[in-house]
Amino acid sequence: MTDFVQGLPKAELHLHIEGTLEPELLFALAAENDVALPYGSAAEARAAYDFQNLQAFLDLYYGGMAVLRRAEDFSRLTRAYLDRAAADGVRHAEIFFDPQAHTARGVAFDTVLAGITQALDNHAPTLGMTTRLILCFLRDRPVAEAMETLHAALDHKDSILAVGLDSAERDHPPEPFRPVFDRARTEGFLTVAHAGEEGPAAHVTGALDALGARRIDHGVAAMDDPALVRRLAEAQVPLTVCPLSNVKLQVVDDLADHPLKAMLEAGILATVNSDDPAYFGGYVAENYRAAAAALGLAKAELTQLARNSFQAAFLPDPQKRAHLAAVDAYAAAQPA
Ligand code: HPA
Ligand code: ZN
C-alpha cells in the first residue's frame, strides 16, 4: 500500500504554506534573521507539537512565523514544500497563505507574495507540478482588516486565484465575512472556507450560503446534519479533509473514528490533504496511508480519493481529464 500511495497521482487542495515550516528551517531562519525561539533545538520544537485543540496549535503556528521576514525566506519555505509534495506524487497543489499573520508583524504583503510566487513560478515547473494560490482571511481578526487585505490582493489577480477563511473557528462564524466574500467574487476570485473543523455543521451551511464557498475545508462536523450531508453529496461540494490534522487537534479522538470513509459512502466528494504537515506529523501521502490503515481503505477507495482531488481542483476541464486519466492508468498498472 505504501508504494501504491506514494506514486498515485494526486492534487493537494488544503495546505497552509506557513504550516510547512519544519523545525530545521525554523532554526536556520531564526539564526539568519536574528529571531529568538522558545526552543533549544529542532527536536525540542518537535516535542512541543502536542496540541489540545486548534487554538493551542495556532499559538505555535503564528509564533513560528516570526522567522519569516524576507521574500527569500518565503521562497525557501515554498520550495521545500514543493520538493516534498512532488516526492509524494502531488501533481497539482492549491496553496493557502495567511497574509494578515505577516502584515500584522510588519512584513509587507508584497514581500510575502513575491517570495511565494517566486518559488511557485520557478520551481514547481521543474518538478512537473502546477500550482494555484489561495489567500486566507483570519476569522478571529476584524472584518475590516480582511477587507483591507482583499484590497491589497486586487493588484495581484494574476497570482491569486481564490480567497478562503481560516484560523480560530470556535465563536467565529462565517456570516460576518459576507461583504468581504461578496466583493471578492465580484472581483473574480473564487471562494472557499474552513468550516466544521472545531465549529458546528451550521458553519458549513453558513460558508455555502453567506460566503458562496465552492469547497469546504475540513467539513467534519457536516456529518452531524443528515440534510447537509445530502446537500453536499447532491451538489458535489468538495470537502478538503485532513485526517492527521484532525487527530492532532483532537477534532476526532482516534483516526479509526474519522468520518472520511462515511463521507465517501454518503457520496460526498471528499479529498485527503495535509493542512500543516510540519506540525501534524505527515505530508499528504502519509495522510492517505494513515487513513487507509485506520479505516481499512482499499486501493479502489484510495484511487477514488485521488480522482476526487482532481475533480475538486480549480483546474480547467482538459487538465482535469488528463490528471484523471493518469490516476486511472496508474491504478490499472498496479497489481490488485
Ligand atoms: N484550521 C484553521 N486555521 C488554520 C489551520 C487549521 O487547521 N491551519 C492553519 N490555519
Ligand atoms: Zn487548514
Q: What is the pLDDT of residue 236?
A: 98
Q: What is the pLDDT of residue 143?
A: 98
Asked if residue 19 has its Cβ within 6 Å of ligand 1, the reply is: yes
CA of 275 to the centre of ligand 2 (A): 5
Question: How large is the average pLDDT for residues 315-326?
Answer: 98
pLDDT digit string (tens) for 152-192? 999 999 999 999 999 999 999 999 999 999 999 999 999 99
CA of 321 to the centre of ligand 1 (A): 30
Question: How large is the average pLDDT for residues 68-94?
Answer: 98
Cβ contact 330:307 at 8 Å: no
The closest residue, in CA terms, to atom 5 on ligand 1 is 167
The order of strands in the sheet holding 193-195 is 193-195, 216-218, 239-241, 270-272
- Long-range CB contacts (< 8 A, 24+ apart) of 205-213? 206/173, 206/174, 206/175, 207/165, 207/174, 208/237, 210/174, 210/175, 210/177, 210/178, 210/181, 211/165, 211/174, 211/177, 211/178, 211/181, 212/181, 212/182, 212/185, 213/174, 213/237
Ligand 1 atom at shortest distance from the alpha carbon of 198: 1
7, pLDDT greater than 90:
yes
Mean pLDDT of the chain: 98
Closest CA to 16 of 157, 158, 173, 135: 135
pLDDT digit string (tens) for 287-296? 999 999 999 9
CA of 218 to the centre of ligand 1 (A): 10
**Active-site position among 18, 22, 169, 197:** 197
pLDDT digit string (tens) for 123-144? 999 999 999 999 999 999 999 9
Q: What is the pLDDT of residue 186?
A: 98
The closest residue, in CA terms, to atom 7 on ligand 1 is 275
Domains and CATH numbers, the chain: 2-333 (3.20.20.140)
Q: What is the pLDDT of residue 335?
A: 75
1, pLDDT greater than 80:
no
336, pLDDT greater than 70:
no
Ligand 1 atom at shortest distance from the alpha carbon of 167: 3
* Residue listed under C-alpha cell 488544503: 14
Question: Catalytic residue at 22?
Answer: no
The Cα 208–Cα 315 span in angstroms is 20
pLDDT digit string (tens) for 17-45? 999 999 999 999 999 999 999 999 999 99
Cβ contact 15:275 at 8 Å: yes
113, pLDDT greater than 80:
yes
Name residues whose C-beta falls within 8 Å of residue 4's C-beta, 6 or more positions apart in sequence. Answer: 299, 302, 334
Q: What is the pLDDT of residue 300?
A: 97
Q: Is 191 helix (H, G, I), strand (E, B) or coil?
A: strand
Q: Give the percent of the chain with pLDDT over 90.
A: 98
Which mutation among 18, 58, 170, 218 tests ligand 1's pocket best, with the greatest number of atoms within 8 A of CB?
Answer: 58
202, pLDDT greater than 90:
yes
CA of 219 to the centre of ligand 1 (A): 13
The Cα 243–Cα 157 span in angstroms is 31
284, pLDDT greater than 90:
yes
Q: Is 130 helix (H, G, I), strand (E, B) or coil?
A: strand
Closest CA to 245 of 192, 288, 271, 282: 282
Strand ranges (E), the chain: 10-16, 90-97, 130-138, 162-166, 190-191, 193-195, 216-218, 239-241, 270-272
